[in-house]
């Protein structure tokens, strides 16, 4: 029986597992039931495991000095599900709208396959069930700080994300920059309140905010090599209450994203300095709080070549495509900063559909059959890595 056939044989269990997780979603860093469920499943399989970072799980299959790691994220989002599916979320306002329920299930399935083939393993497969992918600082950095990548240290790490823009069963790869760094920006612009008919008695933070939003775009258009992707987006602006009042304060939010750590660091300084300077021109005090998030996700060429060659045998060359990098963020980046890693995209769009609601949409409903491909690919990649 091939691994793909074995995965097909456990598919009813995968569906049941996925739907259980889907019905019981938990927000980032609150995945207590999910963690317990994963531990139960691993225990039933006879796989050694332990809890890390409060709600994460690390499991080991095989033995020896060599090691390869597979990672899935397990958290859900604060979204109220609107799919109307019979197995929709049972929790109001919480939903697996990023498909992490499928990621968790595929890694559990891979665990089952690997346990079945344990005698063939020339080393250890480390299975990482990671909490808190959707929320800064992200579960990856915490798991790494707690020693997840030591004892033994993996030679490579592989992960995947279900992807609504590709047909079910297709796998997409790209080497190099794959997803962006992501920093959250929070501004407070303080002026001086006045009667709107006596503007000369106040300091207007609205005018300062308007000037600031305009000026900051020069970070991207005039202070960035146009060949290096980077973006600044001001996404929220709040101030004022009435037509006849100059308000005291305006608050703004935004996001800074890049594939380049050097430009990212330059941008932090630029934002701090220019926020102060532009607001001062208007007699206001501008402050920015930069919450530094995930680094850019850079896929390692060798890891991509390896996973792609495995995929060409598992799914066939016709079902492999190139992934166009996105300015999304993904904390798999932390693993790939310290070891060669490959994060691939797994098509999840149901057959016959040209589009489907995207990630983080209340109607997101990927084709569950995508899990057949994803589980087999995880297991095969680990097995072959340790045989190579
Ligand atoms: Zn997400
Ligand atoms: Zn996700």
Measured in Å, residue 25 CA sits from the centre of ligand 2 at: 13
Measured in Å, residue 301 CA sits from the centre of ligand 2 at: 22
Which one, of 218, 281, 284, lies nearest residue 252 by Cα? 284
Task: Note whether 165 and 304 are same-domain residues.
Answer: yes
Task: Note whether 173 and 186 are same-domain residues.
Answer: no
Paired strand residues for 79: none
Residue 318 belongs to domain with CATH number: 3.40.630.10
The ligand placed nearest to the CA atom of residue 348 is 2
Measured in Å, residue 361 CA sits from the centre of ligand 1 at: 10
Name the catalytic one among 31, 75, 81, 260: 75
What are the residues whose beta carbons fall under 8 Å from the beta carbon of 190, sequence distance 6 or more? 205, 248, 249, 284, 285, 286, 287
| 26 contacts 76 by C-beta, under 8 angstroms | yes
133 catalytic, yes or no? yes
Measured in Å, residue 327 CA sits from the centre of ligand 2 at: 13
Among 255, 271, 291, the domain boundary falls at 291
For residues 388 and 222, the model is more confident at 222
Among 291, 306, 334, the domain boundary falls at 291
Task: Note whether 42 and 154 are same-domain residues.
Answer: yes
Task: Note whether 232 and 300 are same-domain residues.
Answer: no
Task: Note whether 153 and 242 are same-domain residues.
Answer: no
Among 291, 320, 350, the domain boundary falls at 291
What domain range is 229 assigned to?
A: 181-291
Task: Note whether 134 and 90 are same-domain residues.
Answer: yes
Mean pLDDT, rounded, of the chain = 97
Measured in Å, residue 98 CA sits from the centre of ligand 1 at: 5
Task: Note whether 165 and 186 are same-domain residues.
Answer: no
Reported pTM: 0.93
Measured in Å, residue 359 CA sits from the centre of ligand 1 at: 6
The ligand placed nearest to the CA atom of residue 359 is 1
Summarised one tens digit per residue, pLDDT across range 292-309 is 999 999 999 999 999 999
Task: Note whether 151 and 80 are same-domain residues.
Answer: yes
For the range 216-219, what are the long-range contacts, defined as Cβ-Cβ under 8 Å and sequence gap of 24 or more?
216/271, 216/274, 216/275, 216/278, 219/267, 219/270, 219/271, 219/274
End-to-end CA distance of the chain: 21
Name the catalytic one among 26, 133, 300, 330: 133
| 161 contacts 291 by C-beta, under 8 angstroms | no
73 catalytic, yes or no? no
pLDDT of residue 107: 98
**How many domains are there within the chain?**
2
Measured in Å, residue 344 CA sits from the centre of ligand 1 at: 15
Model confidence band, residue 388 (pLDDT cutoffs 50, 70, 90): confident
The ligand placed nearest to the CA atom of residue 100 is 2
Helix or strand (DSSP H, E) at 338:
helix 332-338
What are the residues whose beta carbons fall under 8 Å from the beta carbon of 105, sequence distance 6 or more? 14, 17, 18, 21, 371, 375
Task: Note whether 19 and 141 are same-domain residues.
Answer: yes
Summarised one tens digit per residue, pLDDT across range 34-57 is 999 999 999 999 999 999 999 999
Mean pLDDT of 141-157: 97
Summarised one tens digit per residue, pLDDT across range 173-194 is 999 999 999 999 999 999 999 9
Task: Note whether 53 and 161 are same-domain residues.
Answer: yes
What DSSP designation does 201 have? G
Task: Note whether 113 and 162 are same-domain residues.
Answer: yes
Residue 185 belongs to domain with CATH number: 3.30.70.360
Task: Note whether 281 and 302 are same-domain residues.
Answer: no
The ligand placed nearest to the CA atom of residue 182 is 1
């Amino acid at each position: 029986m091939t691994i793909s056939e074995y995965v097909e044989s456990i598919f009813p269990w995968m569906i049941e597992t996925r739907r259980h997780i889907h019905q019981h979603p938990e927000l980032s860093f609150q995945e207590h039931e999910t963690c317990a469920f994963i531990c139960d499943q691993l225990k039933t399989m006879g796989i050694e495991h332990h809890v890390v970072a409060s709600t994460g799980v690390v499991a080991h299959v095989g033995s020896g000095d060599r090691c390869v790691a597979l990672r899935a994220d397990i958290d859900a989002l604060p979204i109220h599900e609107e799919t109307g599916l019979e197995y929709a979320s049972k929790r109001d306002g919480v939903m697996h709208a990023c498909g992490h329920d499928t990621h968790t299930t595929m890694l559990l399935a891979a665990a089952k396959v690997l346990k079945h083939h344990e005698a063939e393993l020339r080393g250890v497969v480390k299975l990482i069930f990671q909490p808190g992918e959707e929320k800064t600082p992200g579960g990856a950095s915490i798991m790494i700080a707690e020693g997840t990548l030591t004892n033994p240290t993996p030679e490579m790490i592989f992960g995947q994300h279900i992807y609504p823009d590709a047909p079910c069963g297709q796998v997409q790869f790209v080497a190099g920059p794959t997803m962006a760094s992501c920093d959250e920006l929070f501004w407070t612009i303080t002026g001086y309140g006045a009667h709107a008919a006596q503007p000369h008695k106040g300091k207007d933070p609205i005018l300062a905010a308007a000037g600031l939003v305009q000026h900051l775009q020069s970070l991207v258009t005039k202070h960035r090599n146009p060949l290096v992707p980077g973006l600044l987006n001001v996404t929220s602006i709040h101030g004022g209450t009435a037509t006849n009042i100059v308000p005291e304060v305006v608050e703004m939010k935004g996001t800074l994203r890049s594939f380049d750590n050097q430009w990212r660091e330059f941008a932090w300084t630029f934002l701090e300095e220019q926020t102060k300077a532009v607001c001062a021109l208007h007699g206001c005090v501008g402050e920015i709080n930069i919450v530094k998030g995930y680094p850019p996700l850079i896929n390692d060429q060798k890891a991509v070549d390896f996973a792609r060659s495995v995929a060409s045998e598992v799914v066939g060359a016709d079902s492999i495509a190139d992934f166009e990098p996105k300015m999304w963020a993904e904390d798999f980046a932390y693993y790939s900063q310290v070891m060669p890693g490959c994060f691939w995209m797994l098509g999840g769009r149901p057959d016959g559909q040209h589009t489907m609601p995207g990630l983080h949409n209340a109607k997101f409903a990927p084709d569950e059959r995508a899990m057949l491909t994803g589980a087999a690919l995880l297991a095969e990649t680990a097995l072959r890595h340790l045989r190579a």
